[in-house]
Amino acid sequence: MLKKMVAVAGVFTLLFSAGAASAEIYKDYVPGKGIWIETFIEVDPNHVDDYLTGLKASDVPGLEILKKHGLIDEYKFMTSDSYATGQPNIVIAVHYVNAAALEPDSVRDQMIEKETYAAVSKSQGDAAIAGYEKYRKFSQISSWRSVEFTSK
């Protein structure tokens, strides 16, 4: 009986794994446009509000400038409802409209940097992030591409 159950389980495994292997890009799914850059950060739970306030002052103006120039079309700041030591509890997600938006461009990048410092001076930005090193740790920075499933 046990041999029969193992054989049946083996057949099901082959059937299901063959189905997964036969998926085809652009037929079953399509890569989404653009690239998400996600930064995972562990922040001391007693300083999450401080951190978010600092991000609002230091990061949001620059992100809005990137948006105005068409390099990004969306950004999100997310907090976890739970906390575990060593695990991220803040995620910053920025959606670049395409891979070219991530490529260096000295003229564009220097223009955006100048515009960003006009909105938030270097000293204002430094003041907004003062003390971060005491209560935050970067866990991971990664890039992701969304997937859209097609209907058959």
d(CA 85, CA 43): 10
pLDDT 10s digits, 117-152: 999 988 888 888 888 999 999 999 999 999 999 986
Question: Among the CATH numbers 3.90.1170.50, 3.40.50.2300, 3.40.50.300, 3.30.70.100, which is that of 30-145?
Answer: 3.30.70.100
* Domain locations along the chain: 30-145
Is residue 16 very low, low, confident or very high in pLDDT (cuts 50, 70, 90)? Answer: low
pLDDT tens-digit series, residues 34-89: 999 999 999 999 999 999 999 999 899 999 999 999 999 999 999 999 989 999 99
Residue 3 clears pLDDT 80, i.e. is over it: no
**Contact, 35 vs 96, CB < 8 A?**
yes
CB-based contacts of 101, cutoff 8 Å, min separation 6? 34, 70, 71, 72
